[in-house]
Structure 1
Amino acid sequence: MEMTDISRLCLVRHGETAWNAERRLQGHLDVPLNETGRLQAEAAARSLAGHTFAALYSSDLGRARETATAAGRALALDMTIEPALRERHYGDFQGLTYDEARARFPADYDRFHARDADFAFAGGGESLTAFAARIRRVLSRIAVAHPGEQVLVVTHGGVLDVAHRLTSGKALEAKRDFTIPNAALNWIEFDGGAWRLVAWADEAHLQGARDELPNG
């Protein structure tokens, strides 16, 4: 690609939900934004209004779509729904708090907590390896579709964890040492062959956004 063909993606985690506040694993379950989350979505939309985007993509889960709807209004952009941008599927852990999951499934929780890349949750859940492969594919597909353009992508905390590792070279199994606040702005680039991390966790427009938990 020419330098002018570099694709820049702004990744935004959805606004806060009640389950975020309760330390409850959401995964593929559809949980709406709470009042704080709706305010965060509007704040993110205002901060994005000064940028130009060629397209707006969102996970199909309601908390992401609500956040993307606010941005779409501010940017006068239609939303493209992309189910592959969903959060990791946590199987039998979905709907449980972290403490409940630890108590109910201690052996599985230990593997989850240790970021065992090959561990897949019982009940139809994804392994970290499979989840990361899904996210690499969808982000690459979006980037390739928009050479030389800037694109807004509204998604989930686990997706952002994978995106940071994809662009920084940090291993999937390594402990997370970066933040993933609700409704913060995260910028990455793709030049056709490699990814690059541009800027991360810009939350200047927010007040005390909740960080994604370290384990997903």
Structure 2
Amino acid sequence: MNQPTDILIIRHGQTAWNKLKRLQGHSDIPLNEEGRLQAVTLAEILRHEPLDAIFSSDLQRAYQTAYEIAKSHNLPVHTDKSLRERCYGICEGMLAEEIKKAYPKSYEAWYAADPDHFFPDGERKTESPRQFHYRALEAIRNVASRHCGERVAIITHFGVLETAYRAAQNIPLGTRCKMPVLNTSINRFRWRDGRLELLAWGEASHLEEARKPPVDYYKHF
């Protein structure tokens, strides 16, 4: 029997679109000033926590966050496209009210948690919640299987965290899944015997510290 893998799944720092509540998806939006400060503070909090590997979505908001943690652990960041957020097609960059006005049927399906609904395609082809769920869960499984008996960090997005939470809590697709997912919050899971277990959710005390920049903060950027 393989040893369990402990996994810290962490949402990226804040972006300008996060602040405005615009849907991001695969749109490659960088961290804003607050997000960069959150990433530096998060790295400091995790400095003394043993990590064997660091994985990240290839989108820059996740990579920029992961990079700060990797520097403090002298580890590389392994990027993985399968750890991206769900693709929302033409609705990326829009506010919820704009989606409601322009695509009312998609808006209704979105808030009804229809697992097989697709937003209209845009620059990129969209994914249904069901497709995304299995893609994200498989990405987590791949990381866990490569690091049996170790502790790893995955820096990713809201949707991937929702997938992990849903899987660990046995919440079926097609139902609303309500839980806070703050930028740079730390969420602890264990992969054991082919499934996720939730150990701790939403560690975010460091976000208060992020309001007080470290003395050498501006040396980072």
Aligned to 1:36: 34
- Measured after TM superposition, the shift of residue 208 of structure 1 is 9.8
- 5+ long unaligned stretches in structure 1: 210-216
Does the alignment pair 1:140 with 2:158? no
| Distance in 1 between residues matched to 2:172 and 2:44, nearest whole Å | 34
Distance 1:166 1:198 in 2: 13
Q: Distance in 2 between matches of 1:82 and 1:19?
A: 22
Shift of 1:54: 0.9
Distance in 1 of aligned mates of 2:115 and 2:97: 21
After TM superposition, give the deviation of residue 194 of structure 1 in Å.
2.3
Q: Is structure 2 residue 178 aligned with structure 1 residue 180? A: no
Structure 1 runs (4+) deviating above 6 angstroms are: none
User: Which secondary structure state, in structure 1, belongs to the residue aligned with residue 208 of structure 2?
Assistant: coil
Cα distance in 1 for partners of 2:146, 2:35 equals 30
Kindly provide the amino acid, as one letter, of the partner of residue 15 in structure 1: G
Partner SS for 1:77 = coil
Is the Cα contact below 8 Å between 1:90 and 1:126 reproduced in 2? yes
* Residue 203 in structure 1 maps to residue 204 in structure 2: yes
SS of aligned partner of 2:207:
coil
SS in 1 for 2:189: strand
Paired AA for residue 135 in structure 1: A
Aligned to 2:92: 94
Find the aligned partners of 1:7 and 1:131 in 2 and give their Cα distance: 23
Give the aligned residue type for 1:37. G
Structure 2 gaps, min length 5: 211-221
Does 2:82 correspond to 1:84? yes
- Counterpart selection for 1:45 from 43, 46, 68: 43
CA contact (8 A) 2:15 2:35 kept: yes
Tell me the secondary structure at the aligned position of residue 117 of structure 2.
Answer: coil
Q: How many residues align?
A: 207
Matches within 5 A, 1:118-197: 118-123=116-121, 124-197=125-198
Aligned residue for 2:219? Answer: none
Q: Alpha carbon RMSD of aligned pairs, Å?
A: 1.3
Percent identical pairs in the alignment equals 36
Q: Residues 64-83 of structure 1, C-alpha deviation per residue, up to 9 Å, x if partnerless?
A: 01001111111111110111
Does the 8 A contact of 2:54 with 2:154 survive in 1? yes
Choose the corresponding residue for 2:113, options 112, 115, 125: 115
Cα offsets for 1:77-117 (capped at 9, x unmatched) = 11101110000000111111111111110111100111100
